[in-house]
Amino acid sequence: MPTPSSRSVRNISLLVSAALIVLIGWGLWRESPPPAFIEVVDQSSEFEGVLIQRQVEAGGVPGGAEPKVWPRPLQREALDVQAAQLFYPGLRNNHVFDPFSYVRREANLNAEVPFPESEDGVWRLVTNSAGLREDQDILGYQPDVRILVTGDSHTEGVCANSNSFPNVLEAMLAREQSPATVEVLNAGMGSFNFYNYLGVLERFRHLKPDVFVVAVYGGNDFYKNLSLLRFFERMPPPQALTYDFKLAAASTKKAPGVIPQELGQVVYFIDNPQDVELAIDIACSITSEIKRLSAEVGAELVVVYLPPPLAGQPNFYGEGMNPVLVDLGLKGQPVSVSDEIADRWLEFLKRNEIEHLDLRPHFGAEEQPLYWYTDHHLNVAGQRKIAELLKPIVESLL
């Protein structure tokens, strides 16, 4: 039987690699300073061979037949280190393989990160013995309140641990819950998507969290899911992916973070409109499994939707993105596809009675910027705003 063309397979590998641009720039170092810009990583040749091999092993016929139920049944398989490296290139450096979440940070990191926008011009990246973005190790006993939080690089925080919204939330709750012991664990990490969020709960279910908070980032989470979905279900590659890595790299230098944080996903869905439904489908499928497992563990589930800067605060960030929009041929085109996907997914949460917080109206009403201009991650004010909004929701569930 015929195998997929090299051109088609290269397209899917570009999809996978494009989805991995997030956080590469500040995530792959130990004690040396991070690079000035986010690094674009092209692993297309390596992934091409793996995908062809998988399809040959399946008889040469790509999988991915449309399921008869919606959302689709979740299909996964165990990834070994070699396979995981295709999706998480940080594993080739100082990131650590995890059989549940596929990747995590190295334990006991303590590195200074130069960052001009931060108050002191630097912040320190610190991890505990579990590789979490915490200054302290996980408590050795069951506290009165334990909250497990996961998300991508926005949740992990481009800031000191004490300024991330999980840690700010912990401080707020601790003051009001005293003398009860409160522990909020930040298990977020750059490059995470829905599959990783589920894996975090699987990894830490033994901690018996009272609440599990999942912060979904609308700028790239929906299309990052698709690379793993295509791999697990042996699906054919997307029909098109027009922007290349040279263009992405050039645009990223004009406005660091714009491609990985928001516009990469927009370009992908403009070129592959048929994948919009697929993205909604797999997001709802994984969310359903997270809901099921949360109930099994005994944790209340709270889902937070974090919009990208253009959707969250266009008045602050729209003008700075214009040069990149021109480069990518998006000037004058609608870039609302991420909002449309988010609306459909959030409606699914509402129908299934999943507690959720849509940050768009709250961020839109703010009179101060809530993302760093440098790389479009949440800034300290944005982190605090999320903690303030989460606090009454979490308290109502305790």
The string of pLDDT tens digits covering residues 294-350 is: 999 999 999 999 999 989 999 998 777 777 777 777 777 667 899 999 999 999 999
Q: Is the pLDDT of residue 255 over 90?
A: no
137-181 pLDDT, tens digit per residue, is 999 999 999 999 999 999 999 999 999 999 999 999 999 988 999
Distance CA 113, CA 34 (A): 7
**Helices marked H in the chain:** 6-18, 24-27, 44-57, 81-87, 153-156, 165-177, 194-204, 221-233, 245-254, 258, 264-271, 275-297, 309-312, 314-327, 337-351, 360-364, 380-397
Within a domain: 155: yes
pLDDT of residue 234: 87
Within a domain: 1: no
Tokens of 181: 């012991």
Residue that has been written with the tokens 């549940």 in this structure = 100
Lowest mean pLDDT among 206-215, 236-245, 345-354, 389-398: 236-245
**Residues 136, 132, 155, 194, CA torsion sign:** negative
117-134 pLDDT, tens digit per residue, is 999 999 999 999 999 999
Pairing assessment for the beta strands 355-358 and 182-186 based on DSSP bridges: unpaired
Counting the structural domains of the chain, the total is 1
Tell me the pLDDT of the chain averaged across its residues.
Answer: 84
pTM of this prediction exceeds 0.85 = yes
Within a domain: 153: yes
Provide the pLDDT confidence category of residue 374 given band limits of 50, 70 and 90.
Answer: confident
At 204, the amino acid letter reads F
Within a domain: 50: yes
Tokens of 117: 């926008």
Burial state string for 286-312 with b = 16 or more CB within 10 A and e = fewer than 16: bbbbbbebbeebebbbbbbbbbbbbbb
Q: For 353, which DSSP code?
A: T
Distance CA 103, CA 75 (A): 19
Within a domain: 215: yes
With vertex at residue 14, the alpha carbon angle to CA 8 and CA 20, rounded to the nearest 5 degrees, is: 150
Domain limits for position 149: 6-397
Distance CA 153, CA 23 (A): 7
Q: Which helix (H) or strand (E) holds 356?
A: strand 355-358
14-34 pLDDT, tens digit per residue, is 333 333 333 333 333 333 334
33 preceded by a cis bond (ω within 30 of 0)? no
pLDDT of residue 63: 54
374 burial type by CB count under 10 A (0-12 exposed, 13-18 middle, 19+ buried):
middle
Within a domain: 218: yes
Distance CA 48, CA 246 (A): 19
Within a domain: 272: yes
71 preceded by a cis bond (ω within 30 of 0)? yes
pLDDT of residue 30: 32
What is the CATH classification number for the domain harbouring 171? 3.40.50.1110
